[in-house]
Amino acid sequence: MENMSNKEYQKYIEERTPKPTYVKNMVLAFIVGGLICVLGQIILNMLSKHGLDKEQAASGTSILMVFTGSFLTGIGVYDWIGKVGGAGAAIPITGFANSIVSPAMEFKKEGFIFGVASKMFNIAGPVLVYGVGSSVVIGMLYIILTGGG
């Protein structure tokens, strides 16, 4: 081992590390993500049918999808959906709900202030920071490039 450099060892390990099953993961992400979106679309259509306008129906759909993600996290199902669906389960708004509810549940033992409230954004925090941050930057670019028109 002594004549093996760090670089050589890391290369050796890379060759011996099983690669993720990309094709299978992508197909599953497509199916799971697609099903979540179909569910969203069904909710949206139903809300529209019951007389909500476009904006109200969209808000209602988000609210119900967040509830669904949180509920499935609470009853211990969403971790399984996430394991199967990968990015297909993480990217829709249900995955965002899962990323907030799961640490909130996990850290309840540490109390409601420094546990639940503080740890709740452990995973979702970066998404919020960079999501809000990038929308501000794009908004400013929009104003500069179009002159606010």
Partner 1 sequence: MALKRVGAQTVKLSNPPSMISAASIVGPKEGDGPLKDYYDLILEDDLWGEESFEKAETKIQEETIKLAIQNADLSPNQIEYLFSGDLLNQITSSGYAARQLAIPYFGLYGACSTMVKALSLGAMVIDGGFADRVVCATSSHFSSAERQFRFPLEYGAQRPFTSQWTVTGAGATVLSSTGNGPYITYITTGRIQDYGITDANNMGAAMAPAAVDTIARHFKDTGYNPEDYDLIITGDLASIGKNILLDLIRKEGYDLSNNYTDCGVKIFDNIRQDTHAGASGCGCAAAVLNSYIYEELLKGNLNRVLLVATGALHSPTSILQSESIPGIAHGITIDNMVL
- Binding residues (CB under 8 A) for partner 1: these are 1, 4, 6-7, 9-10, 13, 16-18, 20, 25, 73-74, 76, 78-83, 85-86, 89-90, 95, 98-99, 101-103, 105-107, 109, 122-123
The CB-of-124 to partner 1 minimum distance in angstroms stands at: 10
Smallest CA-to-CA distance from 98 within 124, 70, 120 is with 70
**Nearest to partner 1 of 36, 57 (CB atom):** 36
User: What DSSP line would sit under 59-78, residue for residue?
Assistant: HHHHHHHHHHHHHHHHTT-H
80 versus 142: smaller Cβ distance to partner 1: 80
Tokens of 54: 């476009």
Least spacing, CB of residue 79 vs partner 1, in Å: 5
